[in-house]
Structure 1
Amino acid sequence: MGNSSGMPPSFDYAPFSVNGTNLDPNFRENTGLVSALMFASGVLGNMLALIVLIYSSSGHKKTIFYRLVAGLTVTDLVGTSLTSPVVIAVYASGNEWIGGKTMCYYFGYVMIFAGYATMLIICSMSVERVLCIRYPCFYRARSSPKHATVILTFCWALASFIASFPFLGFGKMVLQYPNTWCFFDYYNTNPVNKAFNYFYAIFAILIISITTCFNLTALCTLLNRCRNNDSLKGCRQSCRKCRKSHKYTECQMLSQLAGITLAFSTCYIPLMIKILINQNETYLRNYGSDFTVIRLASVNQILDPWVYILLRRELLWKVISCFKKHDNNDTVPSVFQKAARSHNYEQSFCSFCFDCLCDPHVNMNNMDVKRSLSDLRLSVITSVTPPDVRRTILKIVSEDAINASNCLINSS
């Protein structure tokens, strides 16, 4: 089989048949162009996302969330830049693998590293959002932008460690159908390699599940807070404005995180399920579907930056403004005007999210922010902390007001 495929006998490859009935005659002609388009889209999207992050406000640059987004963007950019050129070169050479076994192990390593690094960073982002929204006092007192560097280093190190398992004999890299990419052998019947296959899929599903649970927790907390307007009564107008801006910033971050999570879950879950199914030796092998799910996983590196860019409130506000100008010429009130009339803190969560993503940013001068910090801080703490610990927290906050509110100023 080794010689018939054109590979040296010592080279490991998946046991697929080039002349098998599962091959589409036009498959090879189309996939080369698709790979080139995916590579161009991935590089363009991630470069644009990095430019947007670089030119973001200084306050956003100091937050942990946006630094994690930058780390995710760099990871996606590196992942697609290190693998896609190899695939394109193989297609250009007539589907003959280049670089031998060394290139195969390199390709498989980058695939595993990029996939797990993406999942771990997004999971860390969801944990960070829960801490910021659910435990604001603790978060503002203990968090630092340096923590983002620690989190990213940990995610990259853990992903790199997992990707190195096949080099240590736990898992096996092989050339995959249609001779254009390498990955671990998820059909291998060796008990050790099979254990790695189960570990890879189950651990990834666990990370996705944890991320989803934390996102739902943050969403429910934000929903309860936006519906609870009791703490806003009696506050100064500047306090109300500052809190409104802070809530909108939180909602924008959560919306971006939810979009990124939905994208990577949709792209990666089919691959993990397919790997688990392939462990059943009685299952009829379908290398075409294997290729489809791995390509779907590769699409995630393209979607992540575009989700972040398209869900930015500044961009959405410009789009909505164009519709508003058009609707103002109509005699029938537009949906945006109706939403504006009903704008209050008793509104539905969907309406609140609409305003969060589509309303312009609330600008405040330094005097307004400083004058409203005390009232705002009391209202936030009152709405999210149990009664038995409020006195202690309020005492600590009153002694060091400015320090406890740095995160809020940066976010707004």
Structure 2
Amino acid sequence: MFSGTERDDVGSKNFGSHDLQSSVMLALSHYNSSASPLLPHFTTDSVRKAEAAVAVEGLQKGNFTSVQPTTSGIIVVILSMTLGIISNIVALFILANAYSSQRRRSKATFLLFATSLVVTDFIGHVIPGALVLRLYLHGGVRQEDFNSSDGMCQFLGGSMVFFGLCPLFMGCAMAAERCLGVTKPLLHSSLVTKTRSKICLSVIWLAALCVALLPGFQLGSYSYQDPGTWCFIKVLSDTEEVDVAFVVLFSGLGLTSLAVALLCNTISGLTLVFARLRRKPGSHRSAKSHDIEMMVQLVGIMVTSCICWSPLLIFGLMSVIRSYTGSIGEDIYNYKTLMVTGVRLATWNQILDPWVYILLRRTVLRKIYLIAKCQVGPRGNILGRWEPTSFPSSEKKEVDQV
């Protein structure tokens, strides 16, 4: 007879899922119970094996996927796309208005990078989101077609890599530019110009595009991912050396950008704090409010990027290494869940980034400062050295516009 152990081996070999084994047993039970009572009940090993083979083959030819797209998933995609579009449009309007009226070079350079980041986030939210929504509406891709590489999968996977690296590169460049401006203002004024800033942005977009196009030169590959509604770098099945190298390159660039941004922002923040602490209490020297505003926004961008992108970058590295070495085994379904969680968090980066510029503006920061000062008091606390003039600009009109 077909023993329990043998049945488990067959189910694990073909699908690796306990639910699928239950489906096979249910099909066999239904087959036996629906048979005509006038027919003899065969119990030979050959007949039982034939029944099992027919049931498994029927399930293999179906449209079985490990996780079927649901109506709730479609609603979540639509709501996240709507929220992301509205957030990016509002932030883009604020930044564009501030950039057009800004005369200070350091602030103008920061706003140029910030506006480019929001535009990139907006496009990167709409294009991949529309493709994912289309796949959801069509019920996703069948599991047996996950390793296929059609044109849509190539474009969607490349878009996710391109629009994933661009914000990380831009955040790193903005942190480096501010670090130079805070620590070496004279050198910054001579090196950083509007033309060079635009060249830097072009290099960032070109570098991200080159990485995204590597699978077109057989240096890596894209494949559909569970639940068959999105494409990304192949990390979990049939991985080769080029796939491992591609994931290492993508994750390495992303994590390096986050680390550099963290280092630069830490240096800039400490420099500003120490400069404030060295000031004499009776000094009425005008504070550099724009430096404080830009630093707070950069810290917000960095924290958001770390929270949203680190899981996907780390999970991708873990998955491809274990898959390539053949040690992933039955943990493949746990890693699929981790990858889905990681890409959902990464999607929220494009939704949360605009709110950094919407909420962490100078006028909002001034209100937060005044509330904190009323609660803590000016004496016996470090806030006493951060005077109200640190946050409002010298002209009220500039505050309202920024």
Compute the TM-score of the two structures, normalised by the length of structure 1: 0.71
3-state SS of paired residue (1:58): coil
Deviation of the 1:164 alpha carbon? 0.7
Where does residue 298 of structure 2 map in the other structure? 257
Inter-partner Cα distance in structure 1 for 2:61 and 2:112: 46
2:160 matched to 1:111? Answer: yes
Deviation of the 1:119 alpha carbon? 0.5
3-state SS of paired residue (2:392): coil
Inter-partner Cα distance in structure 2 for 1:351 and 1:88: 52
Kindly indicate whether the alpha-carbon contact (under 8 Å) linking 1:260 and 1:308 is maintained by their aligned counterparts in 2: no
Where does residue 363 of structure 1 map in the other structure? 395
Kindly indicate whether the alpha-carbon contact (under 8 Å) linking 2:113 and 2:170 is maintained by their aligned counterparts in 1: yes
3-state SS of paired residue (1:182): strand
Correspondent of 1:48 among 90, 105, 114: 90
Kindly indicate whether the alpha-carbon contact (under 8 Å) linking 2:215 and 2:221 is maintained by their aligned counterparts in 1: yes
Inter-partner Cα distance in structure 1 for 2:186 and 2:344: 43
Correspondent of 1:133 among 168, 176, 182: 182
Kindly indicate whether the alpha-carbon contact (under 8 Å) linking 1:116 and 1:204 is maintained by their aligned counterparts in 2: yes
Q: Which ranges in structure 1 are unaligned for 5 or more consecutive residues?
A: 8-16, 325-333, 366-411
- After superposition, residues 177-256 of structure 1 pair within 5 angstroms as 177-187=226-236, 188-229=238-279, 240-241=285-286, 244=287, 246=288, 248-256=289-297
Deviation of the 1:351 alpha carbon? 5.9
Question: Percent identity at matched positions?
Answer: 25
1:355–1:158: structure 2 CA closer, same or farther, 3 Å change rule? farther
Kindly indicate whether the alpha-carbon contact (under 8 Å) linking 1:104 and 1:173 is maintained by their aligned counterparts in 2: yes
Inter-partner Cα distance in structure 2 for 1:282 and 1:356: 60
Inter-partner Cα distance in structure 2 for 1:65 and 1:74: 14
Could you tell which deviates more after superposition, 56-65 or 161-170?
Answer: 56-65
Where does residue 102 of structure 2 map in the other structure? 58
Deviation of the 1:364 alpha carbon? 9.0
Inter-partner Cα distance in structure 1 for 2:231 and 2:104: 39
What do the CA deviations read for 1:214-236 (whole angstroms, capped 9, x no partner)? Answer: 11111111111111115996xxx
Where does residue 82 of structure 1 map in the other structure? 127
Where does residue 354 of structure 2 map in the other structure? 305
Kindly indicate whether the alpha-carbon contact (under 8 Å) linking 2:377 and 2:384 is maintained by their aligned counterparts in 1: no
Q: Which ranges in structure 2 are unaligned for 5 or more consecutive residues?
A: 1-13, 16-58
Relative CO higher for 1 or 2, CA cutoff 8 Å, sep ≥ 6?
1
Kindly indicate whether the alpha-carbon contact (under 8 Å) linking 2:222 and 2:234 is maintained by their aligned counterparts in 1: yes
3-state SS of paired residue (1:63): helix
Could you tell which deviates more after superposition, 156-165 or 88-97?
Answer: 88-97
Where does residue 18 of structure 1 map in the other structure? 65
Deviation of the 1:353 alpha carbon? 6.6
What do the CA deviations read for 1:30-56 (whole angstroms, capped 9, x no partner)? Answer: 221111111111111111111001221
Say what the alpha-carbon RMSD is for the aligned residues.
Answer: 3.2
Compute the TM-score of the two structures, normalised by the length of structure 2: 0.73
3-state SS of paired residue (2:125): helix
Whichever residue aligns with residue 81 of structure 2, its letter is: F
Deviation of the 1:121 alpha carbon? 0.4
Deviation of the 1:95 alpha carbon? 2.4
What do the CA deviations read for 1:379-408 (whole angstroms, capped 9, x no partner)? Answer: xxxxxxxxxxxxxxxxxxxxxxxxxxxxxx
2:302 matched to 1:270? Answer: no
